[in-house]
């Protein structure tokens, strides 16, 4: 199988290493691009919409492929399938925000302050490493140490990339919630969700389960927002099981 793995907000291709490595070892083709303004592209401007990110993926990756997206990357994976259904043989969205209201940390004070023009860029420049690390703790289950690779990816990104991507996420799920977008796809979809997520409300998973002829749903009780790092073996197991899976 060919896989295209898509990282989340303020992450990078490296944050998907624990999934990409085992897939390659199993003999599969794996592409893990850095999305605009992230990772190796952090010095450049980011995209201003999820649809723009999806267009970028279609430019740099070849289909047909299994599209696997973590968090924001899950939205991008769905958007690619919306733009070009032939590109995706399957879409896997991992802890992707389902609705505007489901974005728990985005509704909190610290993240809202960081999106304010004038104040946000100043805070972004002066935040000490300790505070950045503390802010990333919500990306993992309680008690999990923040990996250096996540801290490095977040630290390399520009404030404008953070702001634009945050607004892009909000607009995408506000215009149409992800469960409704998934239901409209002619591509099979699997929803993977770490149930100890402190960034996206776990209660929204029930919206997928309530859909008639809806996506497969895989819950991971011991994982937080980042199963791709916390429980990669379970994510890889889900992905490898897609081989030969029936079409929607």
Q: Tell me which residue of 164, 130, 153 sits closest to 49, measured CA to CA.
A: 164
Is pLDDT of 219 > 80?
Answer: yes
CB 38 within 8 A of CB 157: yes
Share of the chain above pLDDT 90, in %: 83
Please return the burial class of 119, using the count of CB atoms within 10 Å of its CB with bins 0-12, 13-18 and 19+.
Answer: exposed
Is pLDDT of 108 > 70?
Answer: no
Question: Up-side HSE of residue 1: CA atoms within 13 Å toward CB?
Answer: 22
Q: Give the CATH fold of the 2-240 domain.
A: Rossmann fold (3.40.50)
Q: What is the pTM (predicted TM-score) of this model?
A: 0.94
How much is the pLDDT for 129?
A: 80
Q: Tell me which residue of 234, 43, 71 sits closest to 150, measured CA to CA.
A: 71
Identify the band that residue 245 occupies on the pLDDT scale cut at 50, 70 and 90. Answer: low
pLDDT in tens, 33-65: 999 999 999 999 899 999 999 999 999 999 999
Is pLDDT of 248 > 60?
Answer: no
Give the dihedral sign, CA 160/177/137/217.
Answer: negative
Residue found by looking up tokens 């937080």 in the block: 224
Three-state helix/strand/coil letters over 28-79: CEEECCCCCCCHHHCCCCCCCCHHHHHHHHHHHCCCCEEEEEECHHHHHHHH
Q: What is the mean pLDDT of residues 207-214?
A: 94
Is pLDDT of 189 > 90?
Answer: yes
pLDDT in tens, 91-106: 999 999 999 999 876 6
Residue 59 in tokens: 């430019």
């Amino acid at each position: 199988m060919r896989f295209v793995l898509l990282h989340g907000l303020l992450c990078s291709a490296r944050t998907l290493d624990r999934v990409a490595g085992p897939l390659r070892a199993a003999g599969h083709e794996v592409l893990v691009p850095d999305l605009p303004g992230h990772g190796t592209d952090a010095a450049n401007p980011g995209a201003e919409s999820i649809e723009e990110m999806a267009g970028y993926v279609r430019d740099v990756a070849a289909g047909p492929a299994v599209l696997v997206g973590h968090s924001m990357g899950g939205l991008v994976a769905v958007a690619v399938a919306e733009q070009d259904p032939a590109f995706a043989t399957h879409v896997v969205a991992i802890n992707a925000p389902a609705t505007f209201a489901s974005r728990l940390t985005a509704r909190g004070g610290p993240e809202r302050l960081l999106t304010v023009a004038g104040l946000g860029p100043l805070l972004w420049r002066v935040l000490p490493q300790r505070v950045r690390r503390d802010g990333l703790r919500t990306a993992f289950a309680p008690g999990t140490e923040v990996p250096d690779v996540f801290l490095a990816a977040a630290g390399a990104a520009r404030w404008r990339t953070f702001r634009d991507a945050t607004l892009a996420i909000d607009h995408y799920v506000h215009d149409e919630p992800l469960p409704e977008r998934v239901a409209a796809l002619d591509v099979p979809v699997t929803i993977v969700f770490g149930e100890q997520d402190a960034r996206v409300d776990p209660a929204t998973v029930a919206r997928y389960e309530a859909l008639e002829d809806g996506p497969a749903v895989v819950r991971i009780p011991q994982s937080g927002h980042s199963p791709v790092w916390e429980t990669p073996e379970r994510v890889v197991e889900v992905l490898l099981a897609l081989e030969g899976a029936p079409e929607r």
